[in-house]
Amino acid sequence: MLALFKPSGAPGLELAERPEPNTGEADVKIRVLRTGICGTDLHIEAWDAWAAGTITPPIIPGHEFYGEVVEIGARVRDVQVGAMVSGEGHIVCGTCRNCRAGRRQMCIRTLSVGVNRDGAFAEYVVIPESNVWVHHNGIDPDLGAIFDPFGNAVHTALSFPLVGEDVLITGAGPIGLMAAAVARHVGARFVVVTDVSEPRLELARRMGADLGVNVSRTRIAEAQAILGMREGFDVGFEMSGHPGALPEMVTNLNHGGRVAMLGLPSQSIDLDWARVVTHMITIKGIYGREMYETWVAMSTMLQSSERLRAALSLVITDRFPATRWEEGFAAARAGSGGKVVLDWSGI
Active site residue 43: yes
**Candidate list 43, 90, 155, 242, residue with the active-site label:** 43
- How far is residue 224 from each of residues 55, 136, 199, 230, measured CA to CA in Å? 44, 40, 22, 8
State the Cα–Cα distance between residues 38 and 278, nearest whole angstrom: 38
**Candidate list 40, 110, 194, 294, residue with the active-site label:** 40
State the Cα–Cα distance between residues 30 and 132, nearest whole angstrom: 10
Active site residue 185: no
Asked if the peptide bond before residue 21 counts as cis, ω within 30 degrees of 0, the response is: no
Name the DSSP class of 230: S
> Do strands 14-17 and 2-5 pair parallel, antiparallel, or not at all (unpaired)?
antiparallel
State the Cα–Cα distance between residues 192 and 225, nearest whole angstrom: 12
Q: Which amino acid is present at 63?
A: H
- Give ∠ CA 55-134-113 in degrees, rounded to 5: 5
Which residues belong to the active site?
A: 40, 43
